[in-house]
Structure 1
Amino acid sequence: MEIKDKNLEELEKICSDIRDRIIDVVSRKGGHFSSTLGAVELTVAMHKVFDIKKDPFIYDVSHQCYPHKLINGRWDEFETIRQFGGLSGFTKPKESDADYFVAGHSSTSISLAVGAAKAIKLKGEDRTPVVMIGDGSMTAGMVYEALNELGDRKYPVVIILNDNEMSIAKPIGSISKYLSKILAGKYYQAFKERVDKNIIQHLPTGATYIAKKIEESMKLITPGIIFEEMGIDYIGPIDGHNLEEIIETLEIAKAMKKPVIVHARTVKGKGYKFAEGQHERWHGVGPFNVDNGKFVKKNSAKSATAVFADALLELAKKHENIVGVTAAMPSGTGIDKLMEEFPSRFWDVAIAEQHAVTSMAAMAKEGFKPFITIYSTFLQRAYDQIIHDVCLMGLPVVFAIDRAGIVGNDGETHQGAFDISYLRFLPNMILCAPRDDKTLEYSLEFGYEATSPCAIRYPRGAFKQLPYKASKFELGISELLKEGTSNKLFIGYGAGVSRACDTEALHKEDISILDLRFVKPLDEKKLKELASKYDDWYVFSDSQKQGGVASAILEFLDKQKVCINVTSFEYEDSFIHHGDTKKVEESLGLLPEQLVLKVK
């Protein structure tokens, strides 16, 4: 879609068409919604002012990248957004040259822009990295590490701060709003430049000091002081839906040839009345009715997340030393229920996984029992803190790892494939997994009693309920669910137990099924016993094969000098694509009907 030669009226029509397309497709297919609707004018203005063919367009998280995809040659293909084999819901260079970098986790954009700017300078090219970052992403420490260097190096980078929750700077009455409007204008920016170069620099020392103090005192009642103090020019706040104002401001920022933050206020869900405003449920949505905003009803089965939240709530009522934290995902992890019930004991620390882990380590040292509830893919961001601040001291912190395994439409950046592999080798760490709702409740009770770090993983969506009576967790003890007559043994871990059961049900042999429960420590006594009975072991776990459950079992068997044929049905060494979970599993050969053939 050509943007450069369009006038304002034509650009506004393009904005309207983009919104209509997003509403139409997402209402039928699902996807990220309110954040991307709120960024339409900002995106169109970016493409008007900057050159997508040479300037790096860097989207933070890229929840707001749908307008960018529509502008850059994917209008018809947009029908396939987040579908198996279709467009990714995030920026993806393999999909289009217009997508500069993969994005799915937050707060990486400014660091990328600094790196790009360094490369551009070394190559002597005339290009400007332009970033779009949301106010939520500004809570992560990595942003300030990047800003710290950028303010010192002074590389030409334009950062568009898409503020849809006013969490960066709340306006202080009409004076602040008026001054901010002045600061956003081209006349003020030109005046400021002339004053700095032609007047202040040539004043006597005392007069220069006074002039600088006057300028700084004006900044104190504007929202941009934190950026100005870091050496980065600030413009704003501006109206993030006023196309003319955005274009004019970006032209100024581009011409400044130095790091600039353009602070734009936007409305989440802009253009669709049911989604406008601070409604978390409209961030990522399933299909819905456009006319009334009602969502298409999903499977009514209770999700593992909901089971976790209810079980932890009951535990917290019994034990006053239980505390908890999440990183910007209160409703996604179910912690919102506990924050409402116990606001002084459960917290959302925003996008700050490292801080979440280390702060809870200190609470554990003070005698509290912390439950850190984070998605598997986001817990990766705090790996050093898990090692250095929790495991090294053996502190009894519980990691409740949500979204472990395949998460479906979010794809490569969000699949919970690696937590077993990256946690299993840490000293003092306990790793366990429930197979259904009741064993999830029991695992939390076990975690509360644990005297060292403990990680409990559970899947997105609902567990399949199995016909085996649940028993309480004991450290390193597995559970033989079914003793068959075949020389084969199915070993399931977590949600992998139900896949083992489904596969066994389709098989004509009478096969034994073991719920491993703990991958660290392993139930060595039980495994030795089973090694004398079964020649062929098959491992079922929703996790990466390398360093995973089968690896742990093979290491044990090798140490015992026991020869068993072990086949792993874990994920191969690759990143898993997005799409409907069942289609993704089929592509990996992990459906029970496919596994039966492999076993045979």
Structure 2
Amino acid sequence: MLFEEEIKDPSKLEEIASQLRNRILEVVSQKGGHLSPSLGALDLIVAMHHVFDCKKDPFIFDVGHQAYAHKLLTGRWEEFENLRQFGGMSGFPHPKESECDFFIAGHSSTSISLALGCAKAFSLQQSDQIPIALIGDGAMSAGLVYEALNELGERKYPMIIVLNDNEMSISKPIGAISRYLSQMIASPFCQNLKGGMKKILSRMPQSATYMARKFEESFKLISPGIIFEELGLNYIGPIDGHNLEEIIFTLKRAKEMKAPVIIHAQTIKGKGYKNAEGRHEKWHGVTPFDLHSGESLSTSGNIAPTKVFSQTLLQMAEKDEKIVGITAAMPSGTGMDLLMETYPHRFWDVAIAEAHGVTSMAAMAKMGFKPFVAIYSTFLQRAYDEIVHDVGILSLPVRFILDRAGIVGEDGETHQGLLDVAYLRSIPNMVLFAPRDNASLQKALYFASKIENAPCALRFPRGRFMLQEAIYSEEEFEMGKMELLHLSDAKNILLIGYGNGVGRAHFVREILLKEGIDASLVDLRFCKPLDQEGLTPLIQEHRHIFVLSDTYEKGGVGSAILEMLSSQGICKVITSFEVKDMFVPHGRTERVEEMLGLLPSQIAQVIQERIA
């Protein structure tokens, strides 16, 4: 379904918005996805497409999970059926998918910087094009936003920033009066008056400007966006983000101003679907659900490692008042919400500010506390310098809990947790370890709490471990010590697993056993420091060595082992079943692993071919 002509007809916009809502609900209820953000931003996007041509004036989304309506309005109605499916449509805007998607947008708080870059390019090209950024109020908590706003206020490039305020109001709307003030502030008369006042004030002698300047200050106070005005930006709002007529009026006025403009629009997350309307975090990203009852259709009875982490850390915190922690805008996603509710003075959500969170916990470690930093593997990348400079150099005992490590499935390439071993292993003083199942995760957390002279990071997968039960006896963690789970008499094949890779190795070994092939199995446990004393003789005794880990091959676990052997002058061929040098696309985890050749059956087949 195409809307190129209809979207320009004001009389058809309400019907278009209704069709878009129904389509989003239809598909997301079946396939899962980001529901409430896309429903909440829908009217804003419809109005943007009515006023602007996104092929001329680029739309820049922040974050892209609110952009489903944009996808549907740009020729992807049928393709939307395969949202977030392997080989299908991405859950985020992506230039490879459509020329209407200016930039990829999986992580937050990048839109204003991107829009500013566009505006600079348009200026150099002497073009009248205008970038339009749509940013949520949650993304406004990141420092990158204010770095961009600071420069924009100085440079004054023409661009429009639509602030989608769906959770915390910058100011409380005051019904008809608020709408009237917003339209008044957007009107040419008002903007001309403000501009005229500045010219008059600049020409008046200092002694005559006191009353005039007081009037200007009072004028600015009728706008709740005084912070933006002080940064040198034009502010309009708040407006009703679901009133198409009001949004269109405001966008047109902002377009005419040819200056940097922030439009503050108040919206309701989940708008149009009663079950999801309001501040309900569970409707932000959903698995398939019944459209009528709103009940999830997921039948998984597995205990997620996130829940094990949450419950275990709570038990530890009850006994040890030195344990503190932070997360970055993901309290329920990381399991930190339980601790924040129980001990609100010891556990904090710092919003989308990973770098700040890490540095603040470095100070707490210096003060004798035991900080736990719970952040998704892919989001911790944004705090790399702070890990190096503020934690690593002083070797402070900050505990990094990396949720969503490995293949994450439908969220795709912007969210795959594959880089953490490579980017943390190179940091001096850093300890890296990983549990293989829920039982060893508990032991790993207790071990982490006892580390006193070094930072550490432990990782676990999204959803569940491959080993859902404690199949092997669980030894306590000991610094830098591996665990030998099975030693074959033949000593022909050695499977070395790390973290969730232990479960993969276990199932590979079971397949090989059915073929009459026995293999030794090691849980590496520590990627840094490696157990040189235990690992080296095992590798030398076995003919074929295979490494299994949910990490990138470059800089990964196999590389660490080869570096260890090289330092001892040992030359050994090691085959690594880690992810090759590529950005991994979205799709159901099992389907993505099949594409990568990482299913246990595929690995077992390769091993049989190698040893034949």
- Whether these two folds match at TM > 0.5 is yes
Q: Where in structure 2 are the equivalents of 1:83-98 lying within 5 Å?
A: 83-98=85-100
Q: Where in structure 2 are the equivalents of 1:370-389 lying within 5 Å?
A: 370-389=371-390
Contact 2:179 2:239 in 1 (8 A): no
Contact 1:201 1:208 in 2 (8 A): no
- 2:415 paired residue number: 414
Counterpart pick for 1:575 among 576, 583, 586: 583
Contact 1:369 1:397 in 2 (8 A): yes
Using the TM superposition, give the Cα deviation of residue 271 of structure 1 relative to its aligned residue in structure 2, in angstroms: 0.5
CA 14–4 in structure 1, closer or farther in 2 if over 3 Å, else same? closer
1:44-90 deviation line (CA, Å, top 9, x unaligned) = 11111112121111001211110000000100100000000000000
Structure 1 counterpart of 2:477, one-letter code: F
5+ residue gaps, structure 1: none
CA 243–536 in structure 1, closer or farther in 2 if over 3 Å, else same? same
Query: Do residues 470 (structure 1) and 478 (structure 2) align?
Result: no
Q: Where in structure 2 are the equivalents of 1:137-536 lying within 5 Å?
A: 137-167=139-169, 169-171=170-172, 177=178, 180-186=181-187, 189-193=190-194, 195-196=196-197, 200=201, 203-220=204-221, 222-451=223-452, 452-463=454-465, 464=467, 465-486=469-490, 487-507=492-512, 508=515, 509-536=517-544
Tell me how far apart the structure 1 counterparts of residues 266 and 174 of structure 2 sit (CA, whole Å). 16
Tell me how far apart the structure 2 counterparts of residues 282 and 212 of structure 1 sit (CA, whole Å). 48
Contact 2:164 2:265 in 1 (8 A): yes
Using the TM superposition, give the Cα deviation of residue 4 of structure 1 relative to its aligned residue in structure 2, in angstroms: 7.1
Tell me how far apart the structure 1 counterparts of residues 539 and 203 of structure 2 sit (CA, whole Å). 86
Structure 2 counterpart of 1:479, one-letter code: E
Q: TM-score when scaled to structure 1?
A: 0.97
Structure 2 counterpart of 1:75, one-letter code: W
Tell me how far apart the structure 2 counterparts of residues 333 and 382 of structure 1 sit (CA, whole Å). 17
1:496-554 deviation line (CA, Å, top 9, x unaligned) = 00000000100131100000000000000011221331121100000000000000000
Tell me how far apart the structure 2 counterparts of residues 15 and 412 of structure 1 sit (CA, whole Å). 30
CA 183–206 in structure 1, closer or farther in 2 if over 3 Å, else same? farther
- 2:114 paired residue number: 112
* Partner-residue secondary structure (3-state), 2:333: helix
Structure 2 counterpart of 1:241, one-letter code: H
Tell me how far apart the structure 2 counterparts of residues 32 and 504 of structure 1 sit (CA, whole Å). 38
Counterpart pick for 1:31 among 30, 33, 37: 33
Using the TM superposition, give the Cα deviation of residue 240 of structure 1 relative to its aligned residue in structure 2, in angstroms: 0.4
Structure 1 counterpart of 2:102, one-letter code: Y
CA 365–194 in structure 1, closer or farther in 2 if over 3 Å, else same? closer
Using the TM superposition, give the Cα deviation of residue 297 of structure 1 relative to its aligned residue in structure 2, in angstroms: 3.0
1:242-261 deviation line (CA, Å, top 9, x unaligned) = 10110110011111111000
Tell me how far apart the structure 2 counterparts of residues 208 and 74 of structure 1 sit (CA, whole Å). 57
1:332-368 deviation line (CA, Å, top 9, x unaligned) = 0000000011010000010000000000000000110
Contact 2:188 2:253 in 1 (8 A): no
Tell me how far apart the structure 1 counterparts of residues 389 and 181 of structure 2 sit (CA, whole Å). 44
* Partner-residue secondary structure (3-state), 2:250: helix
Tell me how far apart the structure 1 counterparts of residues 533 and 527 of structure 2 sit (CA, whole Å). 14
Contact 2:185 2:191 in 1 (8 A): no
* Partner-residue secondary structure (3-state), 1:563: coil
Using the TM superposition, give the Cα deviation of residue 560 of structure 1 relative to its aligned residue in structure 2, in angstroms: 1.1
Moved over 4 A (4+): 172-176, 182-185, 197-209
Using the TM superposition, give the Cα deviation of residue 217 of structure 1 relative to its aligned residue in structure 2, in angstroms: 2.6
The Cα RMSD (Å) is 1.7
CA 5–264 in structure 1, closer or farther in 2 if over 3 Å, else same? closer
Tell me how far apart the structure 1 counterparts of residues 346 and 249 of structure 2 sit (CA, whole Å). 47
Using the TM superposition, give the Cα deviation of residue 91 of structure 1 relative to its aligned residue in structure 2, in angstroms: 0.5
Tell me how far apart the structure 2 counterparts of residues 522 and 401 of structure 1 sit (CA, whole Å). 19
CA 183–366 in structure 1, closer or farther in 2 if over 3 Å, else same? farther
- 2:603 paired residue number: 595
Tell me how far apart the structure 1 counterparts of residues 255 and 349 of structure 2 sit (CA, whole Å). 36
Tell me how far apart the structure 1 counterparts of residues 302 and 387 of structure 2 sit (CA, whole Å). 33
Contact 1:176 1:222 in 2 (8 A): no
Structure 2 counterpart of 1:490, one-letter code: L
Tell me how far apart the structure 1 counterparts of residues 567 and 583 of structure 2 sit (CA, whole Å). 31
Q: TM-score when scaled to structure 2?
A: 0.95
Contact 2:6 2:12 in 1 (8 A): no
Tell me how far apart the structure 2 counterparts of residues 493 and 250 of structure 1 sit (CA, whole Å). 53
Using the TM superposition, give the Cα deviation of residue 462 of structure 1 relative to its aligned residue in structure 2, in angstroms: 1.5
Contact 1:186 1:248 in 2 (8 A): no
CA 539–348 in structure 1, closer or farther in 2 if over 3 Å, else same? same
Contact 1:166 1:265 in 2 (8 A): no
Contact 1:36 1:67 in 2 (8 A): yes
Query: Do residues 557 (structure 1) and 562 (structure 2) align?
Result: no
- 1:15 paired residue number: 17
CA 330–215 in structure 1, closer or farther in 2 if over 3 Å, else same? same
5+ residue gaps, structure 2: none
Tell me how far apart the structure 1 counterparts of residues 542 and 387 of structure 2 sit (CA, whole Å). 37
Structure 2 counterpart of 1:45, one-letter code: A
Contact 2:241 2:247 in 1 (8 A): yes
Contact 2:495 2:546 in 1 (8 A): yes
Contact 2:240 2:246 in 1 (8 A): yes
Using the TM superposition, give the Cα deviation of residue 222 of structure 1 relative to its aligned residue in structure 2, in angstroms: 3.2
Tell me how far apart the structure 2 counterparts of residues 208 and 296 of structure 1 sit (CA, whole Å). 67
Tell me how far apart the structure 2 counterparts of residues 137 and 244 of structure 1 sit (CA, whole Å). 26
1:417-449 deviation line (CA, Å, top 9, x unaligned) = 000000001011000000011110111111111
* Partner-residue secondary structure (3-state), 2:269: coil
Moved more, 373-382 or 503-512: 503-512
Moved more, 7-16 or 191-200: 191-200
Tell me how far apart the structure 2 counterparts of residues 352 and 298 of structure 1 sit (CA, whole Å). 34
1:176-205 deviation line (CA, Å, top 9, x unaligned) = 837743544425534535633775555554
Contact 1:535 1:564 in 2 (8 A): no
Tell me how far apart the structure 1 counterparts of residues 281 and 85 of structure 2 sit (CA, whole Å). 23
* Identity level (%): 57
- 1:124 paired residue number: 126
In the alignment of these two chains, the number of paired residues is 599
Tell me how far apart the structure 2 counterparts of residues 427 and 175 of structure 1 sit (CA, whole Å). 60
Contact 1:399 1:456 in 2 (8 A): yes
Contact 2:494 2:539 in 1 (8 A): no
